[in-house]
Amino acid sequence: MQKKRSLKKLFTSCFHEAPVMTEEMPRSGSYREYYRLTGGSGRSAVGVYNEDRKENVAFLSFCRHFRSYGLPVPEIYAEDLDKHIYLQEDLGETTLYGYLERVYKDGIFPKPLIEIYKRVLEALPRFQLLAGKTLDYSKCYPRYRFDRRSIMWDLNYFKYYFLKLAKIPFDEQELENDFNTFADFLLEADNDYFMYRDFQSRNIMLKEEKPFFIDFQGGRRGPLQYDVASLLYDAKADIPQHIRDQLYEHYLNVLSEYLEFDRKTFLKYYHAYVLVRIMQAMGAYGFRGFYEKKQHFLKSVPYAVENIRYLLETGSLPENTPALNAVMERICREEKLMKYGRSDSDKLTLEVSSFSYRQGIPDDTSGHGGGFVFDCRGILNPGRYEKYRDLTGNDRAVREFLEHRTGIGTFLHHAVAIVEPTVNNYVERKFTHLMVSFGCTGGQHRSVYCASTFAEYFSKRDDIVVILNHY
């Protein structure tokens, strides 16, 4: 590949030795590509390929600026913006989230982990206030400030990629009105500091137990509350609330060494920024999970729902946004959202779907490929009859037609007999995903009935998680 050849050439030019190994690194939630290049001497660097030039310029400019202030960010070794590549310091493979996963067990958030979070929060004001004062904000991308447009982008991201795709009902105009009211309130907070934007556990590396910071290219001017909310309400990190409260107070104590501020005023806006950050993250989960069909992103949804539930229970949501609050209450009542993760995260997820052959077979959501596809078009179609045309396979009349006038029962019996041994095998081998799809001409009657009945059969098991989709 040309990008690998370009990175190898840049490595050789920079270090005067050719890399003997080039390893593609796992991607995160972005479209950037990362490669670990290692020379014969053992020297290593992380090569980055990203076609978004403005984003590259923002990262490289911010990184050099932060290093000039002694902040722990990766060193930039070399760059070739015309080829969309650069080399940065290799900080290893341990993120704060990866470390948290290893040591946070049985509901106990251990003291060493708390101490690391405190060190992370001690560094945050140095980004926000010290280095942020002299940063060249003209390099910010895509916006130089977390302004009304940025806020509305995030709120609409949540609306279109989470609410709509998760099929959460809402009144479009009333919710839009509340979005504007909510944005007005958020913009009352002092927002003339550096806002890291994505200050969360996957963007903090641990090297020799010291935190290093990456992925700040989306930074801009903004409020202090946003970044501490991002870290402490990082959904899948699932920090216990009493630990969040302790860390929040630690951050305020550190912040007071740099800035005089009123704690009550800070708290007044803090929970609002917790909410807007949760909404932005849920938009990302919906885009990656529901829209791009990357199932693992949906595993963070239940944690985000629990965070919303906490805000509701503590009366922390805005009082003058009834449509927004109603949406949040509805999200907390949706049991289907809780099936995407939490205690079931290690179980096999059996994803059952109905689809129309006119639209094509659904994409595999796990990234593994494969799965079972059953063609229901050999079964008599209720859609040929006028009285069933506007109904679906979940309606009683259609179900009775299929059960009494077709051989759909035998068809499903054989489908279960084919799939069940694989389900049992995958459970035993601790596999995490299996996709089963049923297709018919319009994706409305036969396939819907089969997918729903099939899912109902397997949902009786407590060793798997069943997710049902109708495309």
Range 105-108 contact pairs with CB under 8 angstroms and sequence separation of 24 or more? 107/240
Range 452-455 contact pairs with CB under 8 angstroms and sequence separation of 24 or more? 452/354, 452/393, 452/394, 453/412, 454/352, 454/412, 454/415, 454/416, 455/350, 455/352
The string of pLDDT tens digits covering residues 241-280 is 999 999 999 999 999 999 999 999 999 999 999 999 999 9
**Does residue 369 surpass a pLDDT of 70?**
no
pLDDT given for residue 130 in this prediction:
97
**Does residue 107 surpass a pLDDT of 90?**
no
- For residues 285 and 299, the answer to whether their CB atoms sit within 8 Å is no
**More confident call, 346 vs 76:** 76
DSSP state of 374: E
Share of the chain above pLDDT 90, in %: 83
What is the average pLDDT across 48-71?
Answer: 97
CA distances, 468 to each of 3, 141, 203 (Å)? 40, 38, 33
* Rounded Cα–Cα distance for residues 381 and 139 (Å): 59
Tally DSSP H helices, then E strands, for the chain: 15, 13
The string of pLDDT tens digits covering residues 418-471 is 999 999 988 887 787 899 999 999 999 999 999 999 999 999 887 888 989 898
**Does residue 348 surpass a pLDDT of 80?**
yes
**What is the Cβ-side half-sphere exposure of residue 37, based on CA atoms within 13 angstroms?**
28
Please state, rounded to an integer, the average pLDDT across all residues of the chain: 93
**Does residue 171 surpass a pLDDT of 70?**
yes
pLDDT band at 207 (very low <50, low <70, confident <90, very high): very high
Weakest mean pLDDT among 142-151, 170-179, 333-342, 363-372: 363-372
pLDDT band at 342 (very low <50, low <70, confident <90, very high): very low
- Range(s) within the chain of domains with CATH label 3.30.200.20: 2-89
The string of pLDDT tens digits covering residues 377-402 is 999 999 999 999 999 999 999 999 99
What is the average pLDDT across 66-91?
Answer: 98
**More confident call, 461 vs 186:** 186
**Does residue 368 surpass a pLDDT of 70?**
no
Q: Which of 310, 352, 354 is nearest to 331 (CA)?
A: 310
pLDDT given for residue 366 in this prediction:
67
**Does residue 55 surpass a pLDDT of 90?**
yes
Residue 326, SS3 per DSSP = helix
Residue 351: partners with Cβ closer than 8 Å, 6 or more residues away? 295, 365, 433, 434, 435, 436, 467, 469
CATH class of 2-89: alpha beta
CA distances, 471 to each of 298, 364, 444, 448 (Å)? 17, 13, 9, 9
What is the C-alpha R_g of the chain? 25
The string of pLDDT tens digits covering residues 14-35 is 999 999 999 998 876 678 999 9
- Range(s) within the chain of domains with CATH label 3.90.1200.10: 96-340
CATH topology of domain 96-340: Aminoglycoside 3'-phosphotransferase; Chain: A, domain 2 (3.90.1200)
